[in-house]
Structure 1
Amino acid sequence: MRKWHRWLSVFFGIFLFWIAATGVLSHVAAWWPSAAPSAQAAAAAAPPAGFECPEGWTCRPPRAERQGIGKLVGFFHHLHSGETFGPAGEAISFLSGLALLFFAFSGVWLYIRMWRERARRKAKSRWFWK
């Protein structure tokens, strides 16, 4: 398991870094405070005259158009999902997600095996060791 963990990390490390970085940038762009909406944007977000929300429904006005760095949310999402690079990019993004699941599982498994080996040798019990 350790050999697979090591070899796959060499290949998928680059893609996992890409996915992590673009995911963080996507969230930063979405959460970035934008300037107060203009009067024109507020008027466009208002429901049309005579519109009433149906009974039992919760209606919200449409989201105002993002401004500033917030406009880049879609761009970062396309980079994050691999859509920018076509079907090959989407496949690599999917495989990177599977690799991340594998790394999480195999890392825990390797840690438990090392923990048991230390217990078998009656070594000093610690959470982390050198």
Structure 2
Amino acid sequence: MINGGHVIIYSRDAEADRAFFRDVLEYRHVDAGGGWLIFKLPPAEIAVHPADGPGAHEFYFMCDDVDATVAELTAKGVEFTQPVTDAGWGRLTRFRLPGGGEVGMYEPRHERPTEL
């Protein structure tokens, strides 16, 4: 039985992004060898959206209070690239990783799946 998932974020500066996950987000991690950090993620969920063809996948961090989390991360020097907007199903924003990539973050307002 499948018991988890592994997310990969490609980066132009992997060391800077690893340091961000380690030092700013303070995610627990292990060193898989040679500084290759593998981070423990909080509980996750997956959604499948319709598309006309194969495309890029997206990653969103989730939080309980998007305004408080934006304030906390901004105080740590995180650059937000989109103001918080209300999409009905949640309040969302985007922020820049040190390596130049962007990820989303949202406060869900939809029903959440329970433990399997």
Structure 1 or 2: more helix by fraction? 1
TM-score normalised by length of structure 1:
0.19
Larger Rg: 1
